[in-house]
Amino acid sequence: MNVPASLERTGASRLKAVLKWLVGGGVVLAAALQLTNPALTNPPVVPGHDVLATHPPPPEVATLLRSACYDCHSDETQWPWYSHVAPVSWWLDHHVKDARKKLNFSEWPNDDPQRAAKKWNRVSEEVISGDMPLPSYARIHPMARLNAGQREQLSKWADQEARRLQPDAAKP
């Protein structure tokens, strides 16, 4: 079946027009989404509450905590450029808030050694298992990538801290 050339061009012209509208609408939508970015701010760090200030670990461990943990698990998040682009900004904002809720080194329970010991035990488990830092985070943040030796070092130190903080009755 032969279609006249004039109809073929009309169909192609319509397709081009629809594509232009779709692309233009997509650009307008993407620009409008940028107006919905959450405020990516950090709460003030209260002196005397941050674990690195109150009970500083050895310098190597402090470096590992800062590079692999602090962006999500403290009030000192370094927000990268892509965190200001919706919809990534929504995901990162939720992710950091959730991480801080689970463990926040800037709000360390210095007045509750038993609770702090539990947190260090959890840190040790998460790090040695490879669950933390999240593989998706470490993939795009090379400084957060921990090799086996670094995982062992951080986990061992966290275990030692947990034992140190446990009441004498709970120590083996």
DSSP codes joined into one string, 25-75 = HHHHHHHHHGGG------PPPPTTTSHHHHS---HHHHHHHHHHTTTTSSS
Residue-wise pLDDT for 8-39, tens only, equals: 567 778 888 888 888 877 777 666 666 667 77
- 51: nearest Cα among 74, 78, 77: 74
Residue-wise pLDDT for 84-126, tens only, equals: 888 888 888 999 999 999 999 999 998 899 999 999 999 999 9
Would you say residue 142 has pLDDT above 80?
yes
Residue-wise pLDDT for 52-74, tens only, equals: 988 889 999 999 999 999 999 99
* Integer Cα distance of 98 and 39 in angstroms: 16
